[in-house]
Amino acid sequence: MMGCRFLSLHDAELRRSMPAKLCGYASAVSSLIQRCQMKTTTGQLRENIAFDSRGPYSGPDDGNTEGPFEERFIVSARRQYLRGTETVMAARLEGRQPVLLTVRANSLSKQITTDWQARDVRSGAWVGTKWTGITYAIKAINPTEDRAWIDILVESGVAS
């Protein structure tokens, strides 16, 4: 029963009735959940991420209504590469890398939408109008339960 240490004490009845193999599985799942729910701290914000949105279009009237991406702001972020699930593995085989960016919830970060893109500021530079570094397409935006942080699911290797 050593593998059941992650189950709460009120689940004692469940532990007694559970076979040893299932008990080990339950503790592994519980451990994974606890690891995933670790709170982000300021010391983990090691990346500089720029967020860009589309600017106004100025060009010939050819039906295009979206201008190029323009930088809105740069923030410190925590970057976590997702791994392990079947969806993540399939994305990697297609040349896409799913990443979870965590930023502080403030007036700037609350403006971010899925129409925007994120860039790793330290990975590249502007060459004319072309960014040479890593660019992420924003897929989903979720505030954390404590509302102090915003988790942004992004993918690199996606056309913007």
In tens, the pLDDT along 107-137 reads: 999 999 999 999 999 999 989 888 999 999 9
pLDDT (tens digit, 9 = 90+) per residue, 143-155?
998 999 999 999 9
Rg over alpha carbons for the chain, rounded to the nearest Å, is 21
What is the structure's pLDDT at 92?
77
pLDDT surpassing 70 at residue 7: no
pTM of the model: 0.70
At the topology level of CATH, where does 42-156 sit? Thrombin, subunit H (2.40.10)
What is the structure's pLDDT at 150?
95
Q: Are 54 and 68 in contact (CB under 8 A)?
A: yes
What is the structure's pLDDT at 105?
95
What is the structure's pLDDT at 50?
96
Per domain, the residue ranges of the chain are: 2-36, 42-156
Q: Are 76 and 45 in contact (CB under 8 A)?
A: yes
DSSP 111: G
pLDDT (tens digit, 9 = 90+) per residue, 58-102?
767 666 667 788 999 999 999 998 877 787 788 877 878 889 999
Q: What is the largest CA-CA distance in the chain?
A: 73
Which amino acid would we find at residue 20? A
